[in-house]
């Protein structure tokens, strides 16, 4: 039982670390998808948390039952052979777009916040990510077991600040400021996009763990943990909504209120959140390339990092801003299939089919 809980916590941390990225850490995603809807944004977070727990668990269970080593097998099952092939290609494009944005983000973080060369941020992060990826799923589990507690600590600090802000907590989100869209659709789109990206890690993670009881526990820990982090950041941003909503890194306004001593810790957390997303995406891409091209995981990772590095230098993140809405539509299609597609039969080891 103790081992099951330990594995479930690591699964939950990996789920959270894969979903949380630069957009989450900076506050931009939370402001756009939730806080702009006023009090309804908190309800959106509750719905998103439940959807993450339910559908993230379902995705891992499918991966376990298919014994899927990559998202390619998962998409083939969800959409069928022909359409599944196209969905796999689109998933690869999406993962690579987000990967390039994460690489460029590390360079910008080093240059703008630390005064260090852009190339040092990109190359240094890529080398560290390569070291984790070649160690397989165990490396991803290990790095998230370190990074996610730091993320949780930061959001706890933000939440405590929101609750003790001289009775002004939640005042900044008293009224909605979004003039278009609906909070429920926004919350669903947020889950859809993030699960479409997270499949690169969650599907093979399910195949490795196999024990569905542990996967359920880990999936719900991850989903509810994401909800708690979203709520903490949502209320903290709401205190300074007018100022935060016009900043590139809205959480920087919260950091200013927390004190200069927290700044470096925040930058470390921001880099770590970018790093975990980068590792998860490249791990999924290398699994796909290894299967299609027959390359080793090391060769596939080198190819992905080299291409991502080159595109990060010519401003590819600008292009990603136009691609993200398309990624969101793909995510909604994936979400619907994930809900309505029946789970495959439980996985059985080779040679056990005829036993009994």
- pLDDT value, residue 299: 86
CATH code at 197?
Answer: 1.10.4160.10
Q: Hey, what are 187's tokens?
A: 């919350």
pTM of the model: 0.82
In a domain, 26, yes or no: yes
In a domain? residue 348? no
| Buried-state track 210-241, b at ≥16 Cβ within 10 A, e below 16 | bebebbbbbbbbbbbbbbbbbbbbbbbbbbbb
The average confidence (pLDDT) of the chain is: 81
- pLDDT above 70: percentage of residues in the chain: 84
CA within 13 Å, CB half, 209: 33
Q: Give the range of the structural domain holding residue 179, as residue numbers without chain letter.
A: 2-340
Phi first, then psi: give them for residue 355, nearest 5 degrees: -75, 165
CA distance 342 to 317: 37
Q: Is position 200 within any domain?
A: yes
Residue 191, in any domain of the structure: yes
Residue 347 belongs to a domain: no
353 inside domain: no
- pLDDT for the residue numbered 319: 53
| Number of domain units in the chain | 1
**Dihedral pair phi/psi, residue 176, rounded to 5°:** -70, 145
Confirm whether 355 is domain-assigned.
no
Q: Does the pLDDT value for residue 282 go beyond 80?
A: yes
pLDDT of residue 47: 96
Q: pLDDT per residue over 294-323, tens digit each?
A: 778 888 889 889 988 888 776 545 555 566
Whether 158 shows a pLDDT value over 80: the answer reads: no
Contact by Cβ (8 Å): 121, 106:
yes
**Does pLDDT of 351 surpass 50?**
no
DSSP character string of 95-141: HHHHHHHHHHHHHHHHHHHH---HHHHHHHHHHHHHHHHTTTHHHHH
């Amino acid at each position: 039982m103790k081992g099951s809980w330990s594995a479930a916590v690591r699964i939950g941390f990996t789920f959270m670390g894969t979903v949380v990225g630069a957009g989450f850490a900076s506050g931009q995603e939370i402001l756009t998808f939730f806080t702009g809807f006023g009090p309804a944004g908190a309800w959106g977070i509750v719905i998103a948390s439940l959807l993450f727990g339910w559908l993230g668990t379902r995705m891992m269970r499918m991966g376990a039952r298919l014994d899927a080593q990559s998202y390619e097998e998962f998409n083939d099952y969800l959409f069928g052979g022909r359409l599944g092939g196209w969905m796999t290609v689109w998933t690869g494009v999406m993962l690579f777009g987000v990967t390039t944005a994460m690489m460029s983000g590390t360079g910008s973080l080093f240059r703008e916040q630390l005064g260090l060369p852009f190339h040092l941020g990109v190359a240094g992060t890529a080398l560290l990510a390569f070291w984790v990826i070649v160690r397989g799923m165990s490396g991803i589990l290990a790095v998230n077991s370190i990074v996610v507690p730091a993320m949780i600590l930061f959001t706890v600090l933000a939440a405590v600040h929101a609750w003790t802000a001289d009775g002004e907590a939640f005042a900044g989100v008293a009224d909605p400021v979004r003039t278009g869209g609906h909070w429920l659709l926004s919350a669903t789109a947020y889950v859809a996009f993030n699960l479409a990206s997270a499949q690169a890690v969650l599907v093979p993670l399910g195949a490795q763990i196999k024990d569905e009881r542990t996967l359920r526990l880990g999936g719900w820990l991850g989903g509810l943990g994401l909800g708690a982090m979203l709520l903490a950041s949502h209320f903290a941003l709401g205190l300074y909504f007018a100022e935060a909503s016009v900043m590139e890194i809205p959480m920087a306004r919260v950091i200013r209120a927390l004190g200069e001593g927290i700044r470096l810790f925040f930058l470390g957390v921001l880099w770590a959140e970018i790093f975990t997303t980068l590792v998860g995406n490249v791990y999924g891409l290398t699994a796909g390339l290894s299967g299609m091209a027959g390359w080793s995981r090391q060769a596939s990772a080198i190819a992905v990092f080299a291409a991502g590095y080159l595109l990060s230098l010519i401003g590819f993140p600008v292009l990603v801003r136009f691609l993200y809405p398309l990624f969101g539509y793909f995510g909604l299609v994936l979400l619907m299939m994930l809900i309505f597609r029946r789970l495959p039969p439980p996985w059985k080891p080779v040679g056990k089919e005829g036993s009994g």
